[in-house]
Amino acid sequence: MIALSDNKPKVSLCTLGCKVNQYESQAIAEDFERLGFSLSSFDEKCDVYVINTCTVTGESDKKSRQMIRRARKNGGEDALVIAIGCFTQAQKDDIAKITELDAAFGNSDKSQVAQFACDILKDRDTAKFCNKICDISKFSEYDRMSITHSERTRAFVKIVDGCENKCTYCIIPSVRGKIRSRDLDDIIKELSVLADAGYKEVVLTGIETAAYGKDLCGCNLAQLLKEADKVKGIERIRLGSLEPTVIKDELVRALASMKRAVPHFHLSLQSGSDSVLRGMKRKYNTKQFFDAITKLKEHIPDVTFTTDIIVGFPGESEEAFAETCDFVKKCGFLYVHIFPYSKRKGTPAADFPDQLTESVKKERAAKLKEVMLETRNEVLKSFDGKETTVIFGEKNSDGFFAGHTPHYIEVFLPKESDRDLSSEMCRCRLHYQKDENGHGYMVCDII
């Protein structure tokens, strides 16, 4: 981001982690702009730095600390350095020990960050650390935030916060709190604003997207989708990560009847072994997961799927890992996000016996990636020669325009094209190709 004016105070935001964090950072950035700040690069000297942190893995914690230190180094002693989000919430009792920080917010009241920074700059006490982290377990109201634009070709729209699952490996429910759904009318209003700003694709997302409406009276995800489908100007409605248990008749009927729902779903798997799923305390087994995929395939032509898988969970045997590899082949995922298990203090799995070594986790991650690439190739080949729409982003460093189809297939347009296609949606024909390593990818021609 480039500063708008040299005589305005400068702020820079660093966002780590999930799509929800990306949405929240965008909302906070717009708050700063309304207060007269200019947005600047994180590597520039700024008046304020905001780090929206993540704690999903040990590596996320490390990265959060690194970016806090980097902000202080870039801004010097006069800069105001604020950390917010999941890492700070998890470290609420020890956060003041991070000497580079001036203030910390957790996962509540993020909508107040910009005003807080503005007030502090007017009357700052540099000697006093300000801890604004609340007890998230007692926080029951949705922290209202909104956006009017996005730096991406598709806009993330947060619809729900919190998670009440009891997965044995995950720290997120303890740092995000209870389910807190956003008012339906507020969501539809934001979608209309984004449509008027020219955005053709939106991603409805949350910490547990499928839980939308659980705390509301007379509203659920299926009803939200029906209302979102009526917003003029939005051409694609995509959902964030879903638990397979939510794929029930009402939701499938709603999706199948929509004009703008995309034929792609990210269903969270985590393991293809029933024994590992039981250890994780997931709410489904592999049969239920595959039944969800089958149900969607029956109602939505050419639907594609992506997923997340953790390898090296405590007690995962070679046989269990082999089951995961076989299940990935059976499901035919377009892409699999692979994560080596990361021990998180305070979770049940951290104290499980039979913890696997880092080398075993790394080896299994590499093996599963090869399996995933094989299934990805098969999915991509099935779209060879087909016509579809592509929403393009900006040119990449190699001079190609890249974009995504409704099925979430990334495609590249040869750099011979002189037309500026940034943020345009074009009708294209897809062509399957392979790189020097035999990995498939898609190019396209504009029709």
Instruction: Taking the CA atoms of 79, 70, 38 and 84 in sequence, report the sign of the dihedral they define.
Output: negative
Mean pLDDT, rounded, for 156-178: 96
- Cβ-based neighbours of 5, under 8 Å, separated by 6 or more: 38
Q: What is the reported pLDDT for 416?
A: 58
- Is residue 293 very low, low, confident or very high in pLDDT (cuts 50, 70, 90)? very high
Does domain 274-381 sit in CATH 3.40.50.720?
A: no
Token pair 């990449």 is found at 396
List every span in the chain annotated with CATH 2.40.50.
Answer: 387-446
pLDDT at 222 over 90: yes
- Where along the chain do the CATH 3.30.750.210 domains lie? 137-262
CA angle 290, 296, 299 (to 5 degrees): 145
pLDDT in tens, 14-37: 999 999 999 999 999 999 999 999
Q: Where in the chain is the domain with CATH 3.40.50.12160?
A: 10-134
More confident residue, 423 or 12: 12
Q: Which pLDDT band, with edges at 50, 70 and 90, does 198 fall under?
A: very high
Residue 292: is its pLDDT beyond 90? yes
Q: Residue 5: pLDDT above 80? A: no
What six digits make up the tokens of 364? 């299994």
Chain Cα centroid distance, residue 420:
28
CATH architecture assigned to 10-134: 3-Layer(aba) Sandwich (3.40)
Can you tell me the mean pLDDT for 284-313? 97
Best CATH choice for the domain 137-262 from the list 3.40.50.720, 3.30.750.210, 3.40.50.700, 3.60.21.70: 3.30.750.210
C-alpha torsion 53→59→61→63, nearest 10:
-60
Beta bridge partners of 104: 83, 131
Distance CA 208, CA 160 (A): 7
Give the span between the Cα atoms of 201 and 166, in whole angstroms: 32
Residue 202 has pLDDT above 70, yes or no: yes
Tens digits of residue pLDDT in 395-418: 776 778 899 999 999 999 976 556
- For 54-58, 151-155, 425-429, which range has the lowest pLDDT when averaged over its residues? 151-155
410-413 vs 440-446, strand pairing mode: parallel
- Is residue 419 within 8 A of residue 428, CB to CB? The reply is no
pLDDT band at 1 (very low <50, low <70, confident <90, very high): very low
d(CA 363, CA 85): 32
| Spatial contact of 63 and 342, defined as CB atoms under 8 Å apart | no
Q: How far is CA 118 from the centre of its chain?
A: 29
Residue reference for tokens 């969800």: 292
Q: What is the mean pLDDT of the chain?
A: 94
Instruction: Give the residue-averaged pLDDT of 251-273.
Output: 97
Give the pLDDT band of residue 7 (cuts 50, 70, 90).
Answer: confident
DSSP string, 135-163: -GGG--S------S--SSSEEEEEEEE--
CA 373 to chain CA centroid, nearest Å: 22
> Considering just the CA atoms, what is the radius of gyration of the chain in Å?
22
- Asked if residue 126 has pLDDT above 70, the reply is no
SS3 state at 202? strand
d(CA 138, CA 175): 11
User: In the CATH hierarchy, which fold is given to the domain comprising 387-446?
Assistant: OB fold (Dihydrolipoamide Acetyltransferase, E2P) (2.40.50)
Q: What pLDDT shows up at residue 417? A: 58
pLDDT band at 4 (very low <50, low <70, confident <90, very high): very low
Model confidence at 350, pLDDT cuts 50, 70, 90, reads very high
- What value does the mean pLDDT take over residues 238-256? 95
* Distance, CA of 140 to CA of 178 (rounded, Å): 7
CB 354 within 8 A of CB 314: yes
Q: Which residue has the higher pLDDT, 140 or 74?
A: 74
Give the DSSP letter of residue 218.
S
Please state, in angstroms and rounded to a whole number, the distance separating the CA atoms of residues 106 and 136. Answer: 8
Q: Where along the chain do the CATH 3.30.750.200 domains lie?
A: 274-381
Amino acid letter, residue 370: E
pLDDT in tens, 57-114: 999 999 999 999 999 999 999 999 999 999 999 999 999 999 999 999 999 999 999 9
- What DSSP character marks residue 178? S
Nearest CA-CA partner of 263 in 283, 243, 238, 284: 238
- How far is the C-alpha of 306 from the C-alpha of 285, rounded, in Å? 17
414 three-state secondary structure: coil
Please answer whether residues 352 and 314 qualify as being in contact, where contact means their C-beta atoms are separated by less than 8 angstroms: yes
**Listed ranges 394-398, 420-424, 429-433; the one with the highest mean pLDDT:** 429-433
Residue 142: CB partners within 8 Å, gap ≥ 6? 160, 161, 180, 181, 182, 183
* Angle at the Cα of 322 from the Cα atoms of 317 and 325, rounded to 5 degrees: 135
- Separation of alpha carbons 43 and 45, rounded Å: 7
Which residue(s) pair with 160 in the sheet? 181, 206
